């Protein structure tokens, strides 16, 4: 049976087992927990692309450009405060064969429009930031709680991730961002089923 058709609790177990095959990801996850950043998640490509790799029989780390570590701290929105966290992360992750990108999602609205061409209202949490990814398939975050249990945030479920379906999420990112990502992903994972951006979307 396809994992995407399993009951949700079994899909969660399958996700943990699948991601555990990426030893770089599990090491980043363990070290990130020790940073104790507020509202943190390991998210984006390193998570769903690990699933794609395992499902399609590729090495778990193949094609993964970086490991995105999001956190949320609106107490200090200065670049200096975020950079202090980035530098601390550089020390924690420096010996790993991976680039770990650390970003304070409370600051995204300060630079998003310059980068993507559309305004972004301030996020209220890391989860809200994950909700705004260009594809619902990407809306997936994991972290370790203080008791080392996995916390999984998946507002759109896991079926599309396991079934290799890329579904647009036209809530913030413009169509061009989605289509650019899709072109790159298809080159690496031609098995993907990509759904079109809605004609009423941006």
Average pLDDT rounded to a whole number, residues 151-165: 93
Average pLDDT rounded to a whole number, residues 147-170: 92
Q: What is the pLDDT of residues 127-139, one digit of tens each?
A: 999 999 999 999 9
142's enclosing H/E stretch is strand 141-144
| pLDDT score at 38 | 96
Q: Given a cut of 90, is residue 13 above it in pLDDT?
A: no
Q: Is 20 within 8 Å of 167 (Cβ atoms)? A: no
The strand pairing partners of 153, in sequence order, are 141
Average pLDDT rounded to a whole number, residues 10-16: 85
Q: Could you give the CA distance from residue 96 to residue 111 in angstroms, rounded to a whole number?
A: 29
Q: Where is average pLDDT lowest: 147-156, 165-174, 180-189?
A: 147-156
Residues 6+ apart with CB under 8 A from 189: 49, 52, 56, 63, 164
Longest dimension (CA), the chain: 50
Domain spans of the chain?
3-194
Residue 202 DSSP symbol: -
Q: Could you give the CA distance from residue 182 to residue 138 in angstroms, rounded to a whole number?
A: 12
Q: What is the pLDDT of residues 16-59, one digit of tens each?
A: 999 999 999 999 999 999 998 999 999 999 999 999 999 999 99
CB atoms within 10 A of CB 34: 9
99's enclosing H/E stretch is none
The strand pairing partners of 43, in sequence order, are 68, 141
Nearest Cα residue to 39 out of 120, 93, 116, 102 = 102
Average pLDDT rounded to a whole number, residues 76-99: 95
CB atoms within 10 A of CB 48: 27
């Amino acid at each position: 049976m396809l994992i995407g058709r399993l009951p949700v609790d079994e899909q969660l177990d399958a996700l943990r087992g699948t991601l555990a095959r990426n030893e770089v990801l599990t090491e980043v996850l363990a070290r990130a927990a020790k940073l104790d950043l507020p509202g943190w998640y390991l998210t984006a490509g390193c998570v769903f692309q690990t699933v794609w790799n395992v499902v399609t029989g590729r090495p778990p780390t193949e094609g993964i450009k970086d490991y995105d570590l999001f956190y949320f701290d609106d107490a200090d929105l200065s670049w200096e405060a975020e950079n202090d966290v980035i530098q601390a992360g550089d020390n924690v992750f420096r010996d790993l064969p991976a680039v770990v990108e650390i970003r304070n999602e409370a600051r995204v609205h300060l630079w998003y429009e310059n980068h993507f061409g559309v305004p972004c209202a301030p996020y209220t949490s890391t989860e809200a930031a994950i909700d705004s990814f260009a594809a619902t398939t990407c809306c997936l975050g994991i972290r370790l709680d203080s008791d080392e249990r996995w916390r999984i945030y998946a507002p759109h479920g896991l079926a599309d991730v396991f079934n290799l379906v890329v579904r647009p999420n036209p809530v913030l990112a413009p169509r061009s961002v989605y289509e650019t990502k899709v072109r790159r992903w298809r080159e690496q994972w031609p098995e993907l089923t990509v759904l079109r951006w809605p004609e009423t979307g941006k």
